[in-house]
Amino acid sequence: MAKITLVIDAMGGDRGPSIAVAALIRALQSFPETDFIVTGDEPRLKALLARESKDTAVDLSRVRIQHTSQIVQMDDKPGQCIRQKTDSSMRAAIDLVADGTAQGCVSAGNTGALMAMAYMYLKTLPGVLRPALITPVPNQHGKQGFLLDIGANPVCDAETLFQFGVMGSVLARELNGIENPKVALLNMGTEEIKGPDVVKQAAMLLKQSSFVNYSGFVEGSELFTGEADVIVCDGFTGNIALKSCEGMAKMVYEHFQRNLKTHWLSRGLAWLLYKRQKKSWAWLNPDQYNGASLVGLRGVVVKSHGNASANAFYSAIAHAITETQLNLPARIHNQVEKVLSEQH
């Protein structure tokens, strides 16, 4: 494996830098070929690094702290961050990838600001219209698919959706080892006449391309069935789909929990059942799906959930390292160039 450098924006997220630093210490142990730069408040990060590494054998010389004085808040507006947060930990992370000091970065901060900064200062690959936020999605066969866009671009034209299909294919092939990944569009029905015009136009483009294995429309109910390896939609739709799933799961879980409180016997039965089934649910553990990638940029940018635990943040770091080692941006660039030459 080639030596790589990854930047960690340690000040993003709801839970402060201790989460990022704890995850980093674990990553230092698992990924000996990776060096790290941590952006944020230097005195605080120094103290945290010393504390978290105390009982480990990690070599802190592999970590460099880059001091920044500002923090992008979760409710900051992206435009304001571009203008005013020029010495923020997030901006420094993006700049370090843009100037080639690092090959990738991870942030748990404000998604809109991260997207805006990456678009503005790291820039999209030649030919790529818009970067997209892509997330792995578990499916019932224990395999993994991808859903994009999940929030970077609320409204997309057909050409942009088509490119999302191309970029999603590259990820499914490179990260999941699927030879000829099936690409579908998320729609309100599987018949060709269904849905908004922009989705139908994107279907035409995907069908015409010899570089995409287009399999048609899927519905929201097929997000987890493994029907497709890559599911494409605009960022508004992807956000609504994922958050609706979250709401559904939460409603059922909370009702179940509330019920259990009513009697010791229910509690006991549920506990026994949980013990028996625990292992088989590991594939659904949300921690391992933490880390949505911003694809289509001239470097690796991974967004951790704002509320991530250290374990989940570690998963996001691991994703970023894998993407960096595969040189995913270059592979996406190659594929997009081929597709563009087919079109013109």
Name the residue nearer to its own copies (CB basis): 164 or 314.
Answer: 164
CB of 175 vs its own copies, minimal distance in Å? 21
Q: Which of 1, 2, 57, 265 binds its own copies (CB under 8 A)?
A: 265
End-to-end Cα spacing for the chain: 37
81-100 burial, b at 16+ Cβ within 10 Å, e below that, comes to bbeebeebbbbbbbbbbbee
Does position 236 bind its own copies by CB under 8 A? yes
CB of 78 vs its own copies, minimal distance in Å? 8
Q: Which of residues 99-138 bind its own copies (CB under 8 A)?
A: 138
Q: Give the C-alpha separation, 159 to 336, whole Å.
A: 12
Q: Which of 254, 257, 342, 343 binds its own copies (CB under 8 A)?
A: 254
- Neighbour tally for 320: CB within 10 Å: 29
CB of 340 vs its own copies, minimal distance in Å? 27
Q: Give the C-alpha separation, 285 to 136, whole Å.
A: 12
Q: Which of residues 131-170 bind its own copies (CB under 8 A)?
A: 138-140, 151, 154-155
Q: Which range binds its own copies by CB under 8 A, 2-10, 13-21, 119-127, 228-236?
A: 228-236
Q: Give the C-alpha separation, 23 to 287, whole Å.
A: 12
* Residue 103 tokens, joined: 């090959």
Does position 284 bind its own copies by CB under 8 A? yes
Does position 50 bind its own copies by CB under 8 A? no
CB of 252 vs its own copies, minimal distance in Å? 7
Does position 240 bind its own copies by CB under 8 A? yes
Does position 69 bind its own copies by CB under 8 A? no
- 106, 110, 112, 115 alpha-carbon torsion, rounded to 10°: -10
Q: Give the C-alpha separation, 328 to 322, whole Å.
A: 9
Report the sign of the C-alpha dihedral through residues 279, 285, 291, 295, in that order.
positive
Tell me which residues touch its own copies (CB under 8 A). 75, 77, 138-140, 151, 154-155, 186-189, 191, 193-197, 219-225, 233, 235-237, 239-252, 254-256, 259, 263, 265-266, 269-270, 272-273, 276-277, 280-281, 284
